[in-house]
Chains A and B, each alone.
Chain A
Amino acid sequence: MLKKLCLAATTCVLFFLLLEGLCSSLIVAYQLWSPHQHRTLSGPSVQYDERLGWVSVPNFHESNYYAPGIYLRTNSQGFRSDEEFTQKVPDGKFRIICSGDSQTYGDGVANNHTWCQDLESIDPRIQSINMAETGYGADQMYLWYKREGARLEHSAHVFAVVTDDFRRMPFSVLGGYGKPVLKLQSDQLVTDNIPVPRRSTFLHWLALKPHPLRQFRSLAMMSSIVEWLFPPRDPSFANGPTDEQARVIDKMFEDLVAIEKQQNSVLVLLYIPSRVSDYEPVGASPPWRRFVREESMKRGFFVVDLIDDFQKLAVTRKDGLFIWPGSTQYFAEAPGHFDDQGHEWVAKELYSRLISIPQVAAKINQRSEDTVAGSAPGAGRANGHAIQN
């Protein structure tokens, strides 16, 4: 009798475990194949570029791209914008170019809620150009700016980075796309791995799937155990740049400073907090932030480091700045990026720092005075016009 009871109990447990495994697998399969779970780098808004790896598709417009009513729109230059930009700055405007990665691009939020665009709402004298691209490393941001941004007149260039943008620099492949690599040859910056090799659509898909695969609890648990037993060590990155990396980045900043000087523009390096690196004052960020500060002293550009301020916020406030898995925004890649409140916070903090830079304050005021003194009604209107549907 006892034997029968034990057998029945064991059968029940085994059956339950099998059922639990089946249900778990079905849920993961649904999440993996759900049409809503498309991601930016494999989504329809991105295309191959032989010099940069990938760029946004020009004139892309989808009203419900990230969530119902949360749109993504690019202009004919492929910038995330509702308007076109001419080479000249409109009268009375202070043009800021924002270079960056997905945190600047605004993954998960609408065009009019990115921090770059929020700057315009804070101060209507500003015209901001969002030249960011999802997944870019600092090298790609620099190369794209040189190719497209430097041609546009501007008064300030905000080069916005998260620590991970430096990690991406040495990679020749990211998110399933090939990418260029910056190197030094005879003390000159050269772009390696170009034309960037084309990769198949399947590879993009595959490269972007490992994270959702962790939805399998067995994989998540095993990888947690492995990480606990063998904590991932990245000593080279966690200690800041190696000598070679430092030389490449130094040269990149040198070149950027030279371009801005030519443009009579102000270079501002914006250090943005991320959920991955900056919730706690540990991790890879501190040595990299130190390095960037030293670079700014050496090369004479401004640094706006928002991480100290971010770390002073209460955890409830910090949490509220990011998109979390499970929220209504169904775009799979969005969690971890800033939500509307996060972008607002960055914009407000950045703006207050920007206007405390004498050169920027003087330029903004100069622009407004010029307009008041001599502008004819409607002057410069052609320089910034809305994209027609």
Chain B
Amino acid sequence: MVMQSKTDATPVIELSAVEPQAKPVQPKNIKRFILVICGCTVSLLFWEGLCSSLVATYRLVSPNEHLALSGPSVQYDEQLGWVSIPNFDEKNYYAPGISLTTNSKGFRASQEFAQSVPAGRLRVICSGDSFTFGEGVGNDSTWCQLLESLNPHLQTVNMGESGYGADQMYLSYKRDGAALDHHIHIFAFITEDFRRMQLSSYVGYGKPILDLRSGNLVKENIPVPVQSHVLPWLERKRLLLREFQSVKLLGSLVGWALPAHDPFSSGPTDQQAQVIEKMLEDLQALEIQRNSVLVLVCLPTTLHDYEQRGPTPAWRAWIRSESMKRGIVFVDLVEEFHKLPVTMKDGMFIWPGSVHYFAEAPGHYNDEGNEWVARELYKRLIATPEVGDKLTAVREKVRSERGPQFAMVPERGEELDRAVSQKGSSR
């Protein structure tokens, strides 16, 4: 405000008049400010929740996210729960160019197998779960198939099936594998395969259960009840519910706050041990009848920090002592796997977010993983006298049939065999 002085014409500015008066902050304004902040935060959280739910719902219902056990390659089986559909062939099953082919017996193979072994070959049957089946990789890239490329004298039969427990692997082999002549039976398992033995349904399918009655193995839950298509779908969706961040976070918090005691972590109970012992005894008897070698293989997985914790150590120790007791060859690849750097280990598995779009593939071996298993297993196999002798016999037989002029020509895989046996003898 400008005022005119009575004595002087110079305008006098009354400072107090132009200074803004410091108004006390009204509690009402603070309240309003807090309300606005809270409103914005809640709106943002609401918006994030809406988007997150939309993304999770999309993943839940996305047709690309089909899983093997509810996918078109698997069908109901009253003895085993489920099996691969015979003569199934889809070129882009797992990803563009990554095929899944089964033969007329439902084995993962592009060829048929006669009962007798072709001349000059050593037949290897690979029993196993999805890690043997080769979830996420092409037929030619499974470790079982890769054994053939390491030694052309081998003929491998991939009898792996996704989701199988050790009991189903055993029953499947007894029904379809034992009918084929063979020299080696690789029974490849991950620790979880023993947990599955106790279940009467898995991923929405029913399954048989092995039990002991009067010291004999009996199958229960047979014929396996047919379950509706809705159940596998629901089971799959239940697993995919963790796409919701709230389910994921709350699940982790509950797991952290109330760590569940997992009796499976301590190894087999007495009853489980008796069933598995009987199963191994039966398998061994079958192999002796066939003049074949039984090889148990423990495969590494990404679970429990790459198997350092959890149930694997106890189960591996038990299997080791059991195989020693029975004189069964046991190849423990988990031990070898632990020695690798984490970067190498990571590079052996399919990870979520990779280009492979098959929902169940993450966590399984990629091409490199299958190659690693094949190489390590092959090295151990040929270092085993029972297997090494069989291979040498086949090789000698082929050489003698080809004539003396080829006697000194080394064959594919022979150099590796020699290197391994030299390493073994130097020890």
Contact = CB atoms under 8 A, between A and B. Distances in A.
B355 interface: yes
A44 B359 CA distance: 38
Contacts of A217: 48, 51-52, 55, 245
Contacts of B347: 320-321, 323, 339-342
B343 A22 contact: no
Contacts of B47: 21, 218
B342 interface: yes
Interface string A1-26: 00000000000001011111111111
Interface string B232-245: 00000000000011
Nearest to A20: B49
Interface stretch (B3-11, B90-98, B109-117): B90-98
A21 B44 contact: yes
Contacts of B356: 315-316, 319
A21 B352 contact: no
Contact of A314 (B42, B97, B369): B97
Contact of B367 (A67, A314, A328): A314
A113 B355 contact: no
A324 B352 contact: yes
A216 B246 contact: no
Interface in B322-349: 341-349
Given A314-B97, A316-B136, A340 B344 contact: yes
Q: Which of A19, A25, A110, A315 has the most CB of B within 10 A?
A: A315
A22 B42 CA distance: 9
Given A217-B52, A339-B343, A341-B368, A325 B353 contact: yes
A21 B354 contact: no
Contacts of B52: 20-21, 24, 217-218
B175 to A, nearest CB: 31
Given A25-B45, A316-B366, A340-B343, A326 B352 contact: yes
B374 to A, nearest CB: 14
B303 interface: no
Contact of A67 (B44, B137, B342): B342
Interface string A206-220: 000000000011101
A147 to B, nearest CB: 31
Interface of A: 14, 16-27, 66-70, 108-110, 113, 216-218, 220-222, 279, 314-329, 339-342
Given A21-B47, A22-B45, A316-B350, 12 more contacts: A20-B52, A21-B44, A21-B52, A23-B249, A109-B343, A110-B341, A222-B51, A314-B367, A315-B355, A320-B366, A324-B352, A324-B353
Ranked nearest first, the 6 interchain pairs of A and B with the lowest CB-CB distance are A21-B49, A324-B351, A21-B45, A20-B49, A17-B49, A21-B48
28 contacts: A17-B50, A18-B46, A20-B49, A20-B244, A21-B47, A21-B50, A23-B249, A24-B245, A24-B246, A25-B44, A27-B248, A69-B342, A70-B341, A217-B52, A217-B55, A217-B245, A218-B51, A220-B51, A222-B51, A279-B355, A314-B367, A315-B98, A316-B98, A316-B137, A320-B367, A322-B354, A323-B343, A341-B347
